[in-house]
């Protein structure tokens, strides 16, 4: 029985590590999305501001202004593409984290219940002079 419990405990630890790693990747991807959103917002604001400035301060027509702003527009388009990719990566990371949690749910639940039972036995065993050990046996205090 002790070997099975040790194997189950080891499997649960590995499952927890897998879930934690998936959640860490998800947090990183979410940060990437936030950064990309910030870049897009900044570029949009810069483009609008520059367009207004050019239209107000010169005799340029709309087409000439567009031509002047083309490099900034391309930069905004690229940042928007990067944002879409970052969002796709974040969605995949979220799915991976959810799948890892679902895949290991039963094992983790069983191990947690087992640990709670053992803690309950230890708590109720205070007067008997024995301590419950992993694997179901008892050892003298």
63-87: average pLDDT: 96
Closest CA to 28 of 96, 80, 86, 82: 86
Alpha-helix runs per DSSP H in the chain: 2-57, 62-124
The partner residues of 138 in beta bridges, in order of sequence, read 132
pLDDT tens figures, 23-54: 999 999 999 999 999 999 999 999 999 999 88
User: For position 27, what pLDDT does the model report?
Assistant: 98
User: For position 24, what pLDDT does the model report?
Assistant: 98
- Distance of alpha carbon 38 from alpha carbon 51, whole angstroms: 20
Residues sharing a CB contact under 8 Å with residue 62, sequence separation 6 or more, in sequence order = 55
* Sign of the C-alpha dihedral computed for residues 131, 12, 20 and 26 taken in this order: negative
First CA to last CA distance, the chain = 22
- Distance of alpha carbon 68 from alpha carbon 80, whole angstroms: 20
Residues sharing a CB contact under 8 Å with residue 61, sequence separation 6 or more, in sequence order = none
Q: Is 2-124 assigned to CATH 1.10.287?
A: yes
- Distance of alpha carbon 138 from alpha carbon 101, whole angstroms: 33
Q: Which two tokens stand for residue 130?
A: 């024995």
13-21: average pLDDT: 96
Is the pLDDT confidence value at 8 over 90?
no
User: For position 118, what pLDDT does the model report?
Assistant: 82
pTM of the model: 0.70
pLDDT tens figures, 120-139: 877 765 554 444 444 444 44
């Amino acid at each position: 029985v002790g070997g099975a419990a040790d194997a189950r405990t080891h499997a649960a630890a590995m499952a927890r590590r897998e879930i934690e790693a998936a959640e860490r990747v998800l947090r990183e991807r979410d940060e990437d999305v936030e950064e990309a959103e910030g870049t897009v917002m900044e570029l949009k604001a810069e483009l609008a501001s520059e367009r207004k400035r050019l239209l107000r301060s010169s005799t340029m027509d709309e087409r000439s202004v567009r031509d002047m702003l083309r490099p900034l527009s391309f930069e905004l388009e690229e940042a928007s593409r990067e944002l879409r990719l970052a969002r796709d990566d974040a969605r995949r990371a979220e799915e991976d984290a959810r799948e890892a949690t679902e895949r290991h749910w039963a094992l983790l639940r069983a191990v947690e219940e087992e640990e709670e039972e053992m803690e309950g036995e230890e708590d109720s065993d205070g007067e008997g002079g024995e301590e419950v050990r992993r694997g179901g046996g008892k050892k003298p205090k």
